């Protein structure tokens, strides 16, 4: 199935902060919505379906927004991958819901927000037994690499965010 854009007539939807959001099925760079608009920067926001294969779409979004040569692009890609994977595996977005990823870059700081449908059972956190566990090290990576990070739960949604100074 081809990627879809949400909204009426304009091909976009305005989010809370006025950013254009694009829903993606992650079919690759040949998909029209993955091309940068002529004469303007890429949107800081992308919506991806909460499926494991869509994590790569979120990583590609980081590269589009920051640029391949950005000094923090690899660390940001890694952390976005971890947070979107958490959303896919642990939130109520899993399967057919959406995960919103916003990447901004200003004054030597990258800020990322990953928002999902939340979970009544858990909030992203570091596991107490993360050294001996088979999984669950994503938030440990976020804690080690990010300058700051946090979790916001609001109106049934969970936003995990981080900043990274470069």
Predicted pLDDT at 7: 31
Domain holding 133, by residue range, is 13-165
Whole-Å CA distances, 162 to 36, 144, 148: 25, 11, 6
Total number of domains constituting the chain: 1
Predicted pLDDT at 122: 64
Q: Is residue 121 part of a domain?
A: yes
Instruction: List per-block mean pLDDT (blocks of 10 residues) for the chain, which spans 166 residues.
Output: 31 35 38 50 95 97 97 98 94 91 98 92 60 72 96 93 98
Q: Is residue 31 part of a domain?
A: yes
Sort strands 148-154 and 157-165 into parallel, antiparallel or unpaired: antiparallel
CB 141 within 8 A of CB 157: no
Q: Is residue 6 part of a domain?
A: no
Outline where DSSP puts E strands in 72-108. Answer: 98-106
CB 156 within 8 A of CB 62: no
Supply the CATH number for residue 27's domain: 3.30.565.10
Q: Is residue 4 part of a domain?
A: no
Q: Is residue 45 part of a domain?
A: yes
Predicted pLDDT at 24: 39
Q: Is residue 65 part of a domain?
A: yes
Q: Is residue 153 part of a domain?
A: yes
Predicted pLDDT at 36: 47
Q: Is residue 28 part of a domain?
A: yes
Dihedral of the alpha carbons of 113, 111, 103, 160, in degrees to the nearest 10 = -10
């Amino acid at each position: 199935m081809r990627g879809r854009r949400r909204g009426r007539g304009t091909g976009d939807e305005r989010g809370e902060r006025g950013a254009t959001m694009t829903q993606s099925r992650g079919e690759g760079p040949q998909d029209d919505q993955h091309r940068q608009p002529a004469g303007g920067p890429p949107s800081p926001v992308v919506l991806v379906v909460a499926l494991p294969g869509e994590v790569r779409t979120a990583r590609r979004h980081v590269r589009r927004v920051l640029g391949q040569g950005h000094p923090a692009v690899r660390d940001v890609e890694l952390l976005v991958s971890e947070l979107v994977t958490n959303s896919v595996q642990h939130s109520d977005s899993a399967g057919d819901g959406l995960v919103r990823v916003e990447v901004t870059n200003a004054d030597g700081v990258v800020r990322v927000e990953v928002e999902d449908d939340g979970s009544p059972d858990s909030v992203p956190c570091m596991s107490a037994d993360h050294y001996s566990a088979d999984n669950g090290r994503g938030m440990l990576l976020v804690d080690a690499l990010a300058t700051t990070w946090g979790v916001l739960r609001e109106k049934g949604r969970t936003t995990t965010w981080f900043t990274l100074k470069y």
